Amino acid sequence: MADLQKISLVLADVDGTLVTKDKLLTERAIRAVQELRRRGIRFAITSGRPPKGANMLIAPLGITEPIAGFNGGLFVKPDLTIIEAKTLPRDAAEKTVQILLDHKVDVWVYSGEDWLVHDNKAPHVSREEWTVKFPPKVVKDFGAALDSVVKIVGISDDLELMKKVEKDAQEALGNTASAARSQPYYLDVTHPDANKGGVVTSLERMLGVKASEIATLGDQPNDVLMFKKSGMSIAMGQASDEVKSQATYVSDSAEDEGFAKAIERYVLGEAS
């Protein structure tokens, strides 16, 4: 591919981008990251997951850059030492929980290293536990935990309801929090500066890399925030038309090596 755009850092979303729907990291994806490094291009990940939920990726990918967990609410080193944390103001956390309960969706609270739920049998809890590799704590109320919240999640399989919850939460919270769906059935609420766009800005500052030389890859509405901040953006093939329309390029789906193909075609300039 002629006239490749200069890229110094690749920043990838995890679920639905770097890994498949079965949370698998393919050999081709690993090779693509290795080739990035061989050519002097750095590689970082960002996710709505807690940082320790990304532990499974650190060794296979040889990650050395800061990891942006909770959509940028918590930056850690690869050994999970905290670099920077952004917590929700107490009043915004209380308002968020109330909004979610009023809409009758399940609520998860991530506070410190704890994942708190009301019901560990509720939809998606077991799936999330399998994904992040640690169990939640069941509590009757979130109480004091709301003093140190990194992320609150609303969950429902009613997709139209989740669209409404997202809109209502954004309107009610205004600039006191960032609210965006990380999956069709998850609404992530974080500190106003803890979003995928903020991750680009933070890595620009931490690593001394220009945003114009950062390539971002994602598949969900909250990834559009980092698309807008970076010099190149690539949407996965299974993303919605709305997400795809905001990206520089569109790759194949995550189930068809979309991540690896995106790196090969648009960053490394290799033939299809």
CATH of the domain at 16: 3.40.50.1000
Domain end position, chosen among 190, 219, 236: 190
Domain end position, chosen among 156, 190, 224: 190
Shared domain for 249 and 224, answered yes or no, is yes
pLDDT at 272: 55
User: In which domain, by residue range, is 215 found?
Assistant: 9-85+195-267
Shared domain for 182 and 206, answered yes or no, is no
Shared domain for 128 and 247, answered yes or no, is no
Shared domain for 78 and 97, answered yes or no, is no
Tell the burial category of 134 from Cβ atoms under 10 Å away from its Cβ (0-12, 13-18, 19+). Answer: middle
pLDDT at 2: 46
| Full pLDDT tens readout for the chain, 272 residues | 447 899 999 999 999 999 999 999 999 999 999 999 999 999 999 998 888 888 889 999 999 999 999 989 999 999 999 999 999 999 999 999 999 999 999 999 998 778 999 999 999 999 999 888 889 999 999 988 999 999 999 999 999 999 999 999 999 999 999 998 888 899 999 999 889 999 999 999 999 999 999 999 999 999 999 999 999 999 999 999 999 999 999 999 999 999 999 999 999 998 65
pLDDT at 183: 85
Shared domain for 72 and 203, answered yes or no, is yes
Shared domain for 107 and 184, answered yes or no, is yes
Tell the burial category of 86 from Cβ atoms under 10 Å away from its Cβ (0-12, 13-18, 19+). Answer: buried
Shared domain for 123 and 244, answered yes or no, is no
Phi, psi of 270 (to 5 degrees): -80, 150
pLDDT at 271: 63
CB atoms near residue 211 (< 10 Å): 16
The model's pTM: 0.84
Inside any domain, residue 33: yes
Phi, psi of 120 (to 5 degrees): -80, 5
Backbone conformation region of residue 269, classed left if phi is above 0, alpha if psi is from -120 to 50, else beta: left
Shared domain for 122 and 150, answered yes or no, is yes
pLDDT at 52: 85
**CA–CA distances in Å: residue 205 to residues 35, 110, 208, 209:** 25, 26, 5, 7
Inside any domain, residue 2: no
Shared domain for 66 and 103, answered yes or no, is no
Shared domain for 49 and 63, answered yes or no, is yes
Distance CA 265, CA 242 (A): 22
Count of domains observed in the chain = 2
Shared domain for 201 and 75, answered yes or no, is yes
pLDDT at 239: 97
Tokens of 232: 């190149």
